[in-house]
Chains A and B, each alone.
Chain A
Amino acid sequence: MEIRMLIGSIVTLIGAIFIFLGALGIVRMPDLYNRLQTGTKASTLGTILSIAGIGIINPEWAGKAFIIISFVMMTNPVSSHTLARGAHHIGIPLSDKTVIDKLQEAETEENKEDQI
């Protein structure tokens, strides 16, 4: 019991640290796309670890924890992908550090073909 409590608490703590780093990344990154990057990855693993820790402390909740983890893993990347796609579509600019934007080039090509 004690050991399980200890392991679960440590796992949950690690998850909380990752969520904190994700929040810090959202503050520090220069543009929307980089913020999404840190936001998605850190929050996904942070949430997974926090919930897994609860599942370790209370084994009878392990099934529910597993279901929540599966849904987080399926939906989190989809939402960030949709946000990034929408943002690019309405023309939110990338930061000055950006080196290349192939999607912009592809869209310009398509527009040219449409006009011809």
Chain B
Amino acid sequence: MNLKNVLQIFVLSYLTWLALNWSVHTDVLVTGAIISVLIAVLLCSQCSVLQEVRLTPKSFAYAFGFVGVFWIELFKSNFDVARRVLTPSLPINPGIVEVKTRLKSNIGKMLLANAITLTPGTLTVDILGDRMFIHWIDVSSTDINEATHAIVSKFEKYLEVMYG
């Protein structure tokens, strides 16, 4: 049993419980604490989902940066999609391109793939090792390096510090 993992799962499920109940009565707090401990100890003594997260001040700062960039990109992507859908000629130029990622950890790759899926005109189709295959609604370059620069770089610099 790994104490750090159990503690992380406990904190996460307790925060979820508090947000769901949105009150600070003693009975709510105690019930939540008991349930969170049970979940963390019984179900998650082997969980390693959060093991690769680095808990340093710098990684927290970069996490905020990542969330900020992510929200800006999410709004940009929606206006981009809206523009394409509403244009009568349907201006798309789709294709599947390959990009490389420098991230090593699984959770880092997962966050990167999710972020790519939610950003303008890109959808992660498959991952083989460090190669990611991205469906791009408007292919501007089929070269690996240029596609990597256009799609991956803006998130990778944050995730690299957070997870390595």
On A, residues with C-beta under 8 Å from B are 18, 21-22, 24-25, 28-31, 33-34, 36-38, 40-42, 44-45, 60-64, 66-67, 73-74, 76-78, 80-81, 84-85, 88, 94-95, 97-104, 106
Contacts and interface: CB of A to CB of B under 8 A. Distances in A.
Interface string B116-141: 01100101111010010101010100
A100 B139 contact: yes
A45 B75 contact: yes
B20 interface: yes
Nearest to A61: B22
Contact of B20 (A44, A64, A74, A97): A64
Contacts, number: 134
Nearest to B118: A77
B85 to A, nearest CB: 4
Contacts of A18: 78, 82
B125 A97 contact: no
B114 interface: yes
13 contacts: A30-B90, A33-B125, A33-B135, A37-B121, A37-B123, A40-B117, A73-B114, A73-B118, A81-B124, A84-B125, A88-B96, A94-B95, A100-B97
Contacts of A38: 81, 84-85
Interface string B83-100: 011100010111111100
Q: Which 6 A-B pairs have the closest CB atoms?
A: A63-B19, A77-B117, A100-B95, A103-B133, A102-B98, A77-B114
Contacts of A106: 98, 128, 131, 133
Contacts of A99: 93-95, 139, 142
A81 B94 CA distance: 16
